[in-house]
Amino acid sequence: MILQASLFAILTSSASALVFSAEPKNADGDLEAFGKEMEPASRDAFLHGIPWREVASRRAEAMKSLRNQSIVFYGDSLAEHWSGDQQGLSVTRLKNRAKLWKRMFGDRYGAAHVSGIGGDRIGNLLWRLQNGESPIHAQPRLIMLNIGTNDIEYGWMQKHNKIDPKDAAEKMFEGIKNVVELFDKESPSSQILLNAVLPRSSAWPKGPYSKVIPELNRLIEGLADQKTIHYSDCSNVLLKHGKISQDYSLDFLHPNDAGAARWGQCLQPTIDKILLQ
């Protein structure tokens, strides 16, 4: 499996290099289209043979049943894996992750719930929040958010790579602001913790991702007022000597158990200040 992951990462990295053989140029039409992709939208995809909407419905029903939560963690696969699920299905390689989540967050802070779907983009999360998955019933003390990496990959990288990275980051940031505004509307007493988008790719810190991820994180950090909205940059948890290490992520994106433990340890000091002081 490690060899397969390594080969896949090398092929992906090579393909990325080919796509970005020329310096990206601004394209107004492309930028407008990319911006529209931040609007609420469902997915037609099947996740392990299950329609995405069915998985989204499960997430919504679970959220509706929650009351008086300490933490709710929304997002994509990077959030979802903390529950032991991968796109709505429990998988063997994540069998220890829910225990790690409980030990690092539930036991430390109280009732803590994960609500993520692998592959989701900003617009998909907005759709989920507008269709039953909002925190209006749970009213958590803290809402955590991790979203954006799939917009970078499936939106900017694969479809709109002529857009300047700074312009692309601004469009994604507009979508993230809409998510935060919805959180504030539906659960106004909750604190919000924004996670930095983690680095990705075997080429990191080189390659196209390094042009857009730091810019997006700079904008996300600027949204934090340190009163009700907070920011945690755990970008280094997957790194060794500046590169993403397979000791912490086999596919150069998703943390394995060791990488997840490092991520949790990075988050705890910030959460301690919010919930324990």
What domains are defined for the chain? 44-276 (3.40.50.1110)
Q: H or E element: which one contains 15?
A: helix 2-19
What is the rounded CA–CA span in Å between residue 270 and residue 223? 16
- pLDDT value of position 115: 98
- Full 3-state SS string of 190-240: CEEEEECCCCCCCCCCCCCHHHHHHHHHHHHHHHCCCCCEEEECCHHHHEE
Which residues in the chain belong to E strands, given as ranges? Answer: 46-47, 50-51, 71-75, 85-86, 89-90, 112-116, 142-146, 191-195, 229-232, 239-240, 243-244
How far apart are the two ends of the chain, measured CA to CA in Å?
43
What is the rounded CA–CA span in Å between residue 165 and residue 202? 19
User: Tell me, what DSSP letter sits at residue 272?
Assistant: I
What is the rounded CA–CA span in Å between residue 24 and residue 231? 30
User: Tell me, what DSSP letter sits at residue 276?
Assistant: I
What is the rounded CA–CA span in Å between residue 271 and residue 105? 9
- The torsion angles phi and psi of 119, rounded to 5 degrees, stand at 90, -10
- pLDDT value of position 3: 37
Sign for the pseudo-dihedral over CA of 174, 170, 121, 244: negative
Q: Are 116 and 80 spatial neighbours (Cβ–Cβ below 8 Å)? A: yes
**Residues paired with 142 in a beta bridge:** 71, 191
What is the rounded CA–CA span in Å between residue 115 and residue 129? 11
Token digits for 131? 């269709």
Query: Tens digit of pLDDT per residue, the chain (277 long)?
Result: 433 444 334 334 433 333 333 444 445 779 999 999 999 999 999 988 899 999 999 999 999 999 999 999 999 999 999 999 999 999 999 999 999 999 999 999 999 999 999 999 999 999 999 999 999 999 999 999 999 999 999 999 999 999 999 999 999 999 999 999 999 999 999 999 999 999 999 999 999 999 999 999 999 999 999 999 999 999 999 999 999 999 999 999 999 999 999 999 999 999 999 999 8
Token digits for 197? 């988008």
